[in-house]
Each structure stands twice: as structure tokens, then as C-alpha cells.
Amino acid sequence: MARKPASPAKKTTATRKPRKAAAPKKPSLATMDIVEAADIATERLAATRASIGKVIYGLEDQVELCLAAILSGGHALLVGAPGLAKTKLVETLAIATGLDTKRIQFTPDLMPADILGSEVLEESAGGKRSFRFIQGPVFCRLLMADEINRASPRTQAALLQAMQEHHVTVAGQRYDLPEPFHVLATQNPIEQEGTYPLPEAQLDRFLLRVDIPYPDRGDEREILLATTGSSESQADAVLTPAEILDLQALVRRMPVGEKVVDAILDLVHLARPDESDDKDVQNGVSWGPGPRAGQALMLAVRARALLQGRLAPSTEDVAALAEPVLKHRMALSFAARADGLTLESLITRLAAKAA
């Protein structure tokens, strides 16, 4: 009996679920039109300042200076008496900007390896020995150097390469730091026993010096009520490291008028004793600012303008940032200090003349 030919197998088609469309990527500030990018940046920075304001009271100008230093890609030196929230300010800035942070408490016995890291000898299961580098606390995006002037000059110098070049060298090997990388250092100007003045080379690495004042009566009332209750306000994370890098690129794209550039050049040259026509500078200033001061002003004035919602800086920004940029880059002679001359009054007068 002949067999019937087998019928062809029926093809079964599996029903696929439609894929969800990928969410469109947000355009980077670096690729946007500068006006549109500045508008978005202003909103994000306003939210960042509002977040910081939940915790930090009465230091709006100081918060602006710290943010300007970060937006400029630089570092800041916070100087103030004990208990004025310098450490709290740095911690809050780290939260609001989304930068991972580490803290180093500088002491006289602190060694460079305690900052940079060190190599340890390890032995594998097969008996092979090798060195492994263990990263130090400098490997973060926001390093808080607390009471930096309490460490020896040798240890302070360990930060020089990291602050300027964003990498460290240990045993001849280069190790890159994460980007962005910023140092916010604190210093107590009152107690000088057991401290080591920062060398001029390291002072010059700080983009801005931020003086932290005592709070006025109204701000101190808010501090007392906010910090002695059953709960305290916390800052919210607003920015991310990637956004910080975009904002830093935007700051460098912002235009600077010739009048502002001339004001910066006039101010820097007026502050140098061998070039100035000011008698107090000629006779009372031991050393003046170098080219880094002009570079710091070029970046900081743009960052300040962006923080205030403006697309371009003005000579008013130069005058406002003259003291934070120049104060740690100049020194008065003993005779000038004995005659009652102060750096604050001298810089203010020079800024008024230049701007």
C-alpha cells in the first residue's frame, strides 16, 4: 500500500513585542547655541544655589565664589575663624554639585603618601610578588583639605602636581585623577602655633581666596533655630560631574569684551611693584601677582556673570573679584603694615582705578 506524502509543516511565526523607543538623549550644553545653553545653565545653577541655601545661611557671596571657582575649573582657599561653617560649606557644595568628596585632616605628622597613596607588596597564590598601588584620598572629584596650613611644606607640596596637572606620579608611574577635580582647602587665620604658612607656589594654585565672615544677627538667628531642633535641612543633589564639565566648557565659550580684558590687564599690572605707578604699590608691596592672576580673572568674571544670569562679564565683575583673586597673590612689606596699609584697601583702590 503506497504511503501518502507527508504534508509540509506549517510555519509558525512568533509574535514579537514592539521595542520601546529609546528616550532621546538630552543635547549637551557644548553643542547648543550659546544663548540657549546659558539660559539652561542659569536655571540649573539657580537650583544649585537654592539647594545649598537650605543648609548654609548668610554666605550667599561666599557660595557664589566657591561655585565660580568650580565653574572656572579651579580651586579655592577658604579662610575664616573656627566654627564659621567652612567644612559644612564644602560638604554641602559636594552634595549639591554631585561631586564625590573625600576629606583630609591636615596635621604636622601627615605624610605625602597619606594624600597620594602608596605601593604595597603583594604575593600571589603561586608565590609571585608584585607591587600594587593603593589610591589615596586625592582620588576624588572634590577634595576637602581641612586646615591645610597645619601640615609640613613637604606634605603641602604633594598637592601641587595634582592641583595643576590633575594627575599624580608615584614611583615613576602616572595616575590620572577623575574629572572634574577640585580642591577646596580651609585655613584658620587666628591660631598660628604649630602651623606652616603655605608657600607662594601653592597659594598661586588657588584660583580664589574666599574669606568667611562672622554672620550678622539675622543670619545667626536663622542658624540657631535651624540647627538646634529635632531635625535639620539637607541639601539635594542637583548637578552631575558630566554637567559640571559642560558648564566649565560653556564658561570658556562666553565672550569677553575688550574693555573687560583691558581692565584685567590694568589691574594686574597696577598690582606689580616694578610696573605700577601707585606709590603704595611701589614702596609697600613685596611681590605682586603673576600671569595666573589674569587667567583667574578671565575665567572667574565669566563664571560670575553666568551665575547671575548674564551672557558676558562686565568691569563690575573685575572689581568684585579683584580681592578674591589678588589677596593671596600679593604681600605687603613690614614697613607698609606698620604704616597701617592693608591689602584689602589697596586692592579696592587699584580695582576702582582699573575698572
**For the segment 256-294, what is each residue's pLDDT rounded down to a tens digit?**
999 999 999 999 999 999 998 889 888 999 989 999 999
Position 129 scores a pLDDT of: 83
pLDDT band at 244 (very low <50, low <70, confident <90, very high): very high
pLDDT category at 1 given cuts 50, 70, 90 is very low
**Homologous superfamily in CATH for domain 31-227+236-253:** P-loop containing nucleotide triphosphate hydrolases (3.40.50.300)
SS (H, E, C) the chain: CCCCCCCCCCCCCCCCCCCCCCCCCCCCHHHCCHHHHHHHHHHHHHHHHHHHHCCCCCCHHHHHHHHHHHHCCCCEEEECCCCCCHHHHHHHHHHHHCCCEEEEECCCCCCHHHHHEEEEEEECCCCCEEEEEEECCCCCCEEEEECHHHCCHHHHCHHHHHHHHCEEEECCEEEECCCCCEEEEEECCCCCCCCCCCCHHHHCCCCEEEECCCCCHHHHHHHHHHHCCCCCCCCCCCCCHHHHHHHHHHHHHCCCCHHHHHHHHHHHHHCCCCCCCCHHHHHHEEECCCHHHHHHHHHHHHHHHHHCCCCCCCHHHHHHHHHHHHHHHCEECHHHHHCCCCHHHHHHHHHHHHC
Better pLDDT: 313 or 120: 313
The domain limits of the chain are: 31-227+236-253, 255-355
| pTM for this entry | 0.87
Superfamily of domain 255-355: Magnesium chelatase subunit I, C-Terminal domain (1.10.8.80)
What is the arithmetic mean of pLDDT over 174-190?
A: 90
Of 119-128, 182-191, 312-321, which one has max mean pLDDT? 312-321
